[in-house]
């Protein structure tokens, strides 16, 4: 029931994933059963999925903690409990982000040594993608939290992108060791003293360059940066439109460029990247964008599959114990 286009987009995305993947995994859809089944039967080829009924729906303007208490049978709570009880290997939702975070943390529990579970977002760069972590979960952070994000992000990138010993940069206002705010300066010391492959401070301009594999910041910075990045394609489209409107030659150039623009912009499109895993909880919980399309849902399911396959949460537990 999660996301602006639920349950239609969720059901369609799940069906696409099943069809495309050809039986590598099975899917349990969680939500108001009659609505889910109606969407299923509206599909041209109804996939074989089980449906678990969950009556409550957490709305986007609910306060997550209150909603989780009152709406105990939300698709989020019911779905996470299925995972908790071993009936599912992962849980995926494009629903209320706060509720996903709280429910995942409460019901699955935090891994040992993790004070704050975190979300990272993969950002395209000139080279290989960079994980921005925290991407919006924890807005007020202590230095220790940033350090934990670095450890968890490092495990995630090494697992999913196959990078051994990924480089970690600390987002700051200059490359020099002395640059930063109070929190980042102390986090710098923790990172420098660790066994991580710490590349020191990085600047805003270093992200798209692909200077590091993991860029660490608090969730306030991460969320603002991420949403700024997401808005670039729309900005360029608008600018190109007004460029094309200036002359016929421009219009032709614009038309010719369209395919290239699409190809480049596609990389910045969150729908391509699917959801982001909540790192630091004892399980696999993938959080999607509220505006998720069927394709985004499909990619979230693949993301869940990879995260399970690479045993990310188990490797994070090992790393946290090593770094404590």
**Residues facing residue 93 across a β-bridge:** 287
# of chain residues touching a second copy (CB under 8 A)? 56
Least gap, CB of 297 to a second copy (angstroms): 21
Is 94 or 111 the residue whose CB approaches a second copy more closely? 94
Please check whether residue 120 is in contact with residue 301, taking contact to mean a CB–CB distance below 8 angstroms.
Answer: no
- Count CB atoms within 10 A of the CB of residue 6: 22
Q: Which of 119, 133, 171, 279 binds a second copy (CB under 8 A)?
A: 171
Q: Which of 21, 64, 250, 271 binds a second copy (CB under 8 A)?
A: 250
Please check whether residue 301 is in contact with residue 288, taking contact to mean a CB–CB distance below 8 angstroms.
Answer: no
Is 28 or 257 the residue whose CB approaches a second copy more closely? 257
Is 39 or 213 the residue whose CB approaches a second copy more closely? 213
Q: Is 253 in the site for a second copy (CB under 8 A)?
A: yes
Please check whether residue 190 is in contact with residue 134, taking contact to mean a CB–CB distance below 8 angstroms.
Answer: no
Q: Which of 25, 102, 240, 306 binds a second copy (CB under 8 A)?
A: 240
Burial (0-12, 13-18, 19+ Cβ within 10 Å), 105: buried
Nearest residue to 284 via CA among 303, 259, 262: 303
What is the helix (H) or strand (E) element at residue 295, kind and residue range?
Answer: helix 294-309
End-to-end CA distance of the chain: 39
Is 234 or 322 the residue whose CB approaches a second copy more closely? 234
Q: Is 230 in the site for a second copy (CB under 8 A)?
A: yes
Q: Is 110 helix (H, G, I), strand (E, B) or coil?
A: strand
Q: Which of 46, 232, 245, 314 binds a second copy (CB under 8 A)?
A: 232
Least gap, CB of 280 to a second copy (angstroms): 19
Q: Is 263 in the site for a second copy (CB under 8 A)?
A: yes
Please check whether residue 94 is in contact with residue 299, taking contact to mean a CB–CB distance below 8 angstroms.
Answer: no
Contact code string over 122-161 relative to a second copy, x by CB under 8 A: ---xx---------x--xx---------------------
Is 42 or 224 the residue whose CB approaches a second copy more closely? 224
Pairing state of beta strands 28-31 and 214-216?
A: unpaired
Is 91 or 270 the residue whose CB approaches a second copy more closely? 270
Q: Is 257 in the site for a second copy (CB under 8 A)?
A: yes
Q: How many CA atoms lie within 13 A of 65 on its CB side?
A: 0
Q: List the structure tokens of 108.
A: 């699955």
Q: Which of 217, 287, 301, 319 binds a second copy (CB under 8 A)?
A: 217
Nearest residue to 292 via CA among 2, 98, 16: 2
Pairing state of beta strands 285-287 and 91-93?
A: parallel
What is the helix (H) or strand (E) element at residue 130, kind and residue range?
Answer: strand 130-133
What does the alpha-carbon distance between residue 319 and residue 150 come to, in Å, rounded to a whole number? 11
Is 195 or 227 the residue whose CB approaches a second copy more closely? 227
Kindly identify the residues of this chain, within the stretch 62-121, that bind a second copy according to CB under 8 A. Answer: none
Is 85 or 126 the residue whose CB approaches a second copy more closely? 126
Q: List the structure tokens of 174.
A: 């200059």
Contact code string over 173-212 relative to a second copy, x by CB under 8 A: x--x---xxx-x------------------xxxxxxx---
> What residue ranges bind a second copy (CB under 8 A)?
61, 125-126, 136, 139-140, 171-173, 176, 180-182, 184, 203-209, 217-221, 223-232, 234-236, 238-240, 243-244, 250, 252-254, 256-257, 259-261, 263-264, 267
């Amino acid at each position: 029931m999660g996301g602006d286009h639920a349950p239609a987009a969720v059901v369609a995305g799940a069906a696409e994933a099943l069809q495309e993947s050809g039986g590598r995994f099975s899917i349990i859809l969680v939500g108001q059963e009659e609505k889910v089944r109606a969407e299923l039967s509206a599909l041209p080829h109804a996939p074989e999925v089980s449906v678990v009924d969950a009556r409550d729906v957490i709305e986007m303007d609910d306060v997550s903690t209150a909603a989780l208490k009152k709406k105990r049978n939300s698709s989020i709570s019911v779905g996470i409990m299925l995972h908790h009880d071993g009936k599912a290997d992962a849980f995926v939702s494009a629903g209320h982000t706060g509720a996903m975070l709280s429910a995942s943390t409460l019901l699955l529990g935090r891994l040992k040594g993790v004070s704050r579970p975190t979300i990272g977002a993969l950002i395209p760069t000139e080279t290989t993608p960079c994980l921005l972590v925290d991407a919006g979960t924890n807005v007020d952070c202590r230095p220790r939290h940033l350090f934990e994000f670095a450890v968890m992000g490092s495990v995630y990138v090494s697992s999913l992108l196959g990078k051994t010993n990924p480089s970690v940069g600390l987002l700051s206002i200059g490359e020099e060791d002395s640059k930063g705010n109070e929190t980042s300066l102390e986090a710098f010391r923790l990172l420098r003293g660790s066994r991580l492959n710490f590349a020191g401070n990085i600047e805003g301009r270093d992200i798209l360059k692909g200077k590091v594999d993991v860029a660490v910041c608090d969730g306030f910075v991460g969320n603002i940066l991420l949403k700024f990045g997401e808005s670039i394609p729309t900005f360029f489209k608008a600018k190109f439109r007004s460029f094309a409107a200036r002359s016929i030659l421009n219009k032709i150039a614009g038309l010719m460029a369209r395919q290239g623009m699409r190809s480049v912009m596609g990389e910045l499109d969150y729908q391509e990247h699917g959801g982001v895993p909540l790192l630091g909880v004892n399980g696999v919980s993938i959080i999607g964008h509220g505006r998720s399309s069927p394709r985004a849902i499909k990619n979230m399911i693949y993301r869940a599959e990879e995260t399970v396959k690479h045993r990310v949460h188990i490797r994070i537990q090992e790393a946290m114990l090593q770094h404590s």
